[in-house]
Structure 1
Amino acid sequence: MLSLLRRPLLFVPRSGRTMSGVSLRVSPGRCLYDEPLQLQVRGLSPGQDVSLRTALTDEAGELFTSVALYRADSGGELELSRSPALEGGSYTGVEPEGPLWSLEPQTPLRRLLKKDVRSPFQLRFSLHQAHCPPGALLAAAAQDRSFMGEGVTREPVREGRVRGSLFLPPGYGPFPAIIDLYGTGGGLMEHRASLLANHGFVTMALAYFSYEDLPDNLAGLHLDYFREALEFLKTHQKVNKERIGVIGLSKGADLAVSMATFLPGIKAVVSISGCNANSFTPLHCGEFVMPCLMFQGEKIKFTEAGELDISESMDDPSDPNNHESIIPAEKSPAAFLILSGLDDKNWPSATYMEQIVARLRDHQKNVEYQCYPGAGHLLEPPYFPLCKASHHKLSGMPMLWGGQTKAHAKAQEDAWKKIQNFFSRHLKGTDTIKSHI
């Protein structure tokens, strides 16, 4: 990005609301959402106790907040990259991005999403005297976190039956391309696709139900729809049609695997919290229909808070009765990256991962995998806060997703690096970022 966009954004409140000489510096002042956070405080008294408060208001007006408790060092300074947060706040220890991933909604069951990726989220930081209750305001700052970097453009896709959005990196290309699929919430999710475009991929966020004139439910999914999307992508002038991948989360993950299995021309697949079988609804594949893995209603549970827990209600893909619903991924020439969390409360994605990895390895296929302790179902790009449960549009009820805040945050950060490295190797022929877990 331009140096102007990386300039730290600093605001010191008016006299009377601030302690003289205290400064709060957040760097960069404008950045991409998946970039690390740097925050420094100067001008405190040695050993002074303060609280750092972070706030973000989403597009629907929902407020997300976090608070961390700190003690200034002997020089009266704090730096999140080396200063540990104390007990009693939203996180503890040395956590430079803790203010972001520990955000919690004021209203229960709200999930932080970005509907319009053309505008940034604004983070508001404030430093206060003492710990609890918060004392006088010492300093404040803000940071804009964008989803589309300089030169990245967005094009709506309405080609035949295909509906979605295309994110194009700056330059003439041709670039490697990725199709991005989400799950049973339906609609169009663009935040991951827009962030991937900043890393040099043409990325298509693809809707497949409950969007514009598409069907309003999952029933009657046809592989031909995804074939049309793939063919459209191959014909785009900025796309290298020999270097196309697909990424999916939840139901989108088993669709991604099905695309790579039955459609030609996909070189790399990332499955996040997915199943190794076709799930929830039959998939029409031209001359045959792949049956679906279902769940048993009597095994559905509810938490004390009334959240729907279907984690133990899904049929077992390894049961011989469900053999025809298993996706024969070994027929695909693509490379695979399978990611899951051990605290996934939507379904046992770690078990599904083991099954598909074993199947691929038995056939000497190229597969990488990672299962994260403490991670839930909704593994998003880094610094999105954990959503343990939220209202689910299709079911009309609150759904349990699982996850432990800090472990889930670390998993998302590592998974994002793995995803970028994987696609870079198999679609660009290069490595980009080192994984740290």
Structure 2
Amino acid sequence: MAAGGLCSAAAAARAVSRGWRGAATLAVHPAAGLADEAVETRALGLSPRQAVTLRALATAELGGSLFASCAHYEADAGGRLELARAAALGGDFRGLEPMGLFWSLAPAALEPPYRRLVPRGLRPLCVDLLLHDGHSPAGALPGPLLARARLERCFTAPGVRRVRLKEGRVRGSLFLPAGDGPFPGVIDMFGDEGGLTEYRASLLANRGFAALSLPYFDFEDLPRVMKDLNFQYFEEAVRFLQHHPKVKGPGIGVIGTGKGAELAFSMITYLPEVVAAVCISGCSFHTVTDLHYGEKTLPALRFDMSKVIVSENGVFDIFEALDDPRDPANSHCCIPIEKAEGHFLLVVGEADRNWKSSLYAELAIERLRHHGKDNFTLLSYPGAGHQIDPPSTPFCLVAIDRVLRVPVLGGGESRAHAYAQEDSWWKIQKFLRLHLG
């Protein structure tokens, strides 16, 4: 925990001795569970109808920033509080939201804003839950501490193996489930943040997939910036995974977010080995950087920075900045997805402000239907923003862009976004299992 967090914890510990009001206890189950699993939280030993505040505290692995959330509750007539049954009465969310304290985690007071609590490594995320007497108004010191509990949100299950890759040009991490296999194979990619992001691949391995987390720039000896990508790199990754002895085959799947989703569109279109593509907040046009494939250069839509809107508090809204794919002059940037023999799952947040995910999904479906194809499923979520991650990943309306190094509006509303993450995660796995045999 950051220094400020340790001070808060010490103060809370002192409050236990000063403010103890009986034998209140706070229990969480599982105390150490997978990060995509729900947590049961209950408090016992409270007074009948006692007003309490629950707080969650977590520290980012990268940078050590403290994240916090809180919600107000009332115990039942027996002095018991179960988050699976009790609605939050205020705080960072309202209503029956048993995992609300997790998806509403945000930078704590005095911490730099616009940070996302996303693991860059695979250490468990430790979360402290603190139960306070009374309803603490926003910005006020919480009431006396009645009980506390610590839990771990783990990204790898026992028996899952991580193999760091340096195979030809391919870099990344291959996660293999426990057991002999073979397992359905999936390549996992993210967007223009670059580097190696492993948490989704590791969670997929927990669920029985051989998952390759595939970086494509800003990692080891890969290009430092995302510029003029070489498609042979992705082709080599597909063939490596397809021929791995632990992978079931013959076809493999890909899952990507943002730029990663666009690459998933390309891979299922140009590579017959790819039979299923999950495209989260993606565009079926080449964007930002050209894609080289042998002697061909596949041109990309560009961002027009003159169309970026900057708010008074310095937040960049880039929603209108990408060239319009509907303009006939940009038709040469289109990925011919109608040539794909595999199946698409399009996952869209309708309140995405990073770019026009809903429009891009409509254009992809329109193109497929125009060519007599029905090999697609659309999951479209009202109120969800751009970065649709596994369940209970904290919502972030505005995040620092790693390339632009400025805060960029991602869009969405926290509760609706949390629902999209929970609902889509299990449907993504069902889709992959169906089409990967």
TM-score greater than 0.5 by the shorter chain = yes
Q: Which residue of 2 aligns with 1:3?
A: none
CA distance in 1, matches of 2:239, 2:50: 61
Question: 2:18 touches 2:144 (CA, 8 Å); kept in 1?
Answer: no
Structure 2 Cα separation of the partners of residues 358 and 302 of structure 1: 33
Q: Equivalent residue of 1:275, what SS?
A: coil
Q: 1:11-46: CA deviations, max 9, x gaps?
A: x99755533221111011110000011001111111
Q: Confirm or deny that 1:155 pairs with 2:189.
A: no
Query: Which of 113, 116, 138 in structure 1 is aligned with 2:118?
Result: 113
Aligned residue number for residue 25 of structure 1? 27
Does the residue aligned with 2:249 lie in a helix, a strand or coil? strand
**Which residue of 165, 181, 188 corresponds with 1:180?**
188
Counterpart-to-counterpart distance in 1, 2:89 and 2:368: 46
1:266-293: CA deviation from partner (whole Å, max 9, x where unpaired): 1110000011201101111223211101
| 1:129 counterpart = 2:133 | yes
Distance of 2:76 and 2:369 partners within structure 1:
52
Q: Percent identity?
A: 47
Question: Does residue 1:351 correspond to 2:359, yes or no?
Answer: yes
How far has the Cα of 1:359 moved from its partner? 1.4
Stretch deviating more after TM superposition (288-297 or 156-165): 288-297
Identify the residue that residue 98 of structure 1 maps to in structure 2: 100
Match of 2:376 among 348, 353, 367: 367
Matched, 1:337 2:335: no
Does the aligned pair in 1 maintain the 2:386–2:410 contact within 8 Å? yes
Counterparts of 1:418 and 1:271, CA distance in 2: 13
The whole-number CA distance in structure 2 between the counterparts of 1:297 and 1:83 is 47
Of 296-305 and 108-117, deviating more is 296-305
Provide the rounded CA distance (Å) in 1 between the counterparts of 2:117 and 2:149: 21
Partner SS, residue 219 of structure 1: coil
Match of 1:394 in 2: 403
Tell me which of 386, 407, 411 is aligned to 1:377.
Answer: 386
Aligned to 1:79: 82
Q: 2:9 — aligned with what? A: none
Matched length: 415
Which digits, 9 at most, give the CA deviation of each residue in 1:38-61, with x for residues without a partner?
Answer: 001111111110100111111121
2: CA distance between counterparts of 1:371 and 1:134? 39
2: CA distance, partners of 1:337 / 1:229: 21
Question: Is structure 2 residue 209 aligned with structure 1 residue 201?
Answer: yes
Partner of 2:270: 262
Q: Deviations 1:250-280 (Å, cap 9, x if unpaired)?
A: 0110101101111121111000001120110
Pairwise CA distance, 1:365? 3.3
After TM superposition, give the deviation of residue 136 of structure 1 in Å.
0.9
1:50 aligns with one of 45, 52, 56:
52
Matched-pair contact (CA < 8 Å) for 1:392–1:399: yes
State the secondary structure of the residue aligned to 1:224: helix
1:219 counterpart = 2:227: yes
Alpha-carbon separation, structure 2, partners of 1:246 and 1:27: 33
- The residue aligned with 2:5 is none
Aligned residue number for residue 71 of structure 2: 68
Deviation of the 1:193 alpha carbon: 0.7
Alpha-carbon RMSD? 1.4
- Secondary structure of 2:279's match? strand
SS where residue 242 of structure 1 aligns? coil
Contact kept, 8 Å, 2:65 with 2:107, in 1: the verdict is yes
Conserved 8 A contact 1:330-1:365? no
Q: TM-score, normalising length from structure 1? A: 0.93
Q: Is the 8 A contact 1:361 1:367 kept in 2?
A: no
- Of the three residues 394, 407, 420, the one matched with 1:411 is 420
Any idea what SS the aligned residue of 2:430 has? helix
The 1-side partners of 2:40 and 2:261 are apart by 34
- Distance (whole Å) between structure 2 residues aligned to residue 382 and residue 305 of structure 1: 30
- Partner AA of 1:159 in structure 2: E
The answer to whether the 8 A contact 1:222-1:284 is kept is: yes
What 5-or-longer segments of structure 2 have no aligned partner?
Answer: 1-12
